[in-house]
């Protein structure tokens, strides 16, 4: 499937229409992964309310905020539709914590990446097995790294399309949509938390700070990514034939 052809098909369409077009191209092989952030809650609402045929899934790292579990539960109550849960491998987590302790990620970049790989990347890989379209809540203005991405990309490493339906939305548009449609959201967003991940690795963002300054806040500079989306912008702009022709 040619990525430019699909881009033309979704161009100028509403988000609901774009989601329907993308998932119709990949029946039974489209997945949306949510961390229950504001953008993710908007997309979950659009999928569930419009009966869009995409699996909704989440990664439970074992280190999430209580507030995240609460909005997870409120989402299930509101929409009465399932969210598939993926845990990390028990043996890998037990080995990591036994050998390095529960806060090894604070001590080196290598340790942090290792923890993200075990708790997030490997469960994500399981979630994406057999899928050809991965829907995410990425927006362009979340970070400099993400501004270099496209709303529709082809991930050559995972061999699937990545679609970011809110890519051009502003943070204000997201918040307004949440309020207008009475969508459950994480109460930490009202306390200065913008991008919310694992509890030990996330803090509130201070006025004037970058959108993702609260993630892995002890690390200086860098792209502030865990590896879920790192590098996809580079692969996206290659265009060409999807699924290697």
Residue holding tokens 């036994």? 98
Tokens of 151: 């709303």
32: left (phi over 0), alpha (psi -120 to 50) or beta: beta
Do 196 and 202 contact (CB within 8 A), yes or no?
Answer: yes
Long-range contacts of residues 175-184, Cβ cutoff 8 Å, at least 24 apart: 175/38, 177/42, 178/38, 178/41, 178/42, 181/45, 183/41, 183/42, 183/45, 183/78, 184/41, 184/71, 184/74, 184/75, 184/78
Quote the strand ranges of 90-159, DSSP E.
Answer: 133-135, 152-155
Q: Which two tokens stand for residue 61?
A: 């790292």
Torsion, Cα of 36, 194, 17, 76 (10° steps): 20
- Let me know: does 94 contact 87? Beta carbons within 8 Å: no
Instruction: Tell me whether residue 226 is one of the annotated catalytic residues.
Output: yes
Give the integer Cα–Cα distance in Å for 151 and 68.
26
- Give me the catalytic one of 116, 133, 198, 226: 226
Q: Which residues are catalytic?
A: 226
């Amino acid at each position: 499937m040619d990525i430019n052809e699909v881009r033309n098909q979704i161009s100028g369409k509403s988000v609901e229409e774009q989601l329907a077009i993308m998932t119709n191209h990949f029946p039974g092989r489209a997945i949306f992964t949510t961390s229950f952030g504001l953008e993710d809650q908007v997309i979950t609402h659009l999928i569930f309310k419009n009966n869009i045929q995409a699996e909704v899934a989440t990664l439970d790292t074992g280190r999430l905020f209580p507030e995240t579990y609460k909005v997870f539960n409120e989402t299930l109550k509101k929409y009465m539709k399932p969210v598939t849960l993926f845990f990390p491998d028990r043996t890998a987590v037990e080995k990591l914590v036994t050998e390095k302790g529960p806060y090894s990620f604070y001590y080196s970049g290598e340790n942090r990446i290792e923890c993200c790989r075990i708790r997030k990347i490997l469960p994500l890989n399981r979630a994406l097995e057999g899928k050809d379209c991965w829907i995410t809540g990425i927006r362009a203005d979340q970070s400099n790294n993400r501004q270099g991405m496209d709303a529709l990309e082809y991930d050559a490493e995972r061999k699937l399309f990545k679609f970011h339906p809110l890519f051009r939305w502003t943070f204000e548009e997201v918040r307004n949509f949440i309020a207008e449609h009475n969508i459950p959201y994480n109460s930490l967003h009202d306390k200065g938390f913008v991008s919310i991940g694992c509890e030990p690795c996330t803090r509130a963002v201070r006025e004037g700070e970058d959108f993702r300054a609260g993630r892995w806040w002890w690390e200086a500079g860098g792209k502030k990514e865990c590896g879920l989306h790192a590098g996809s912008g580079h692969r996206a702009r290659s265009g060409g034939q999807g699924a290697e022709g």
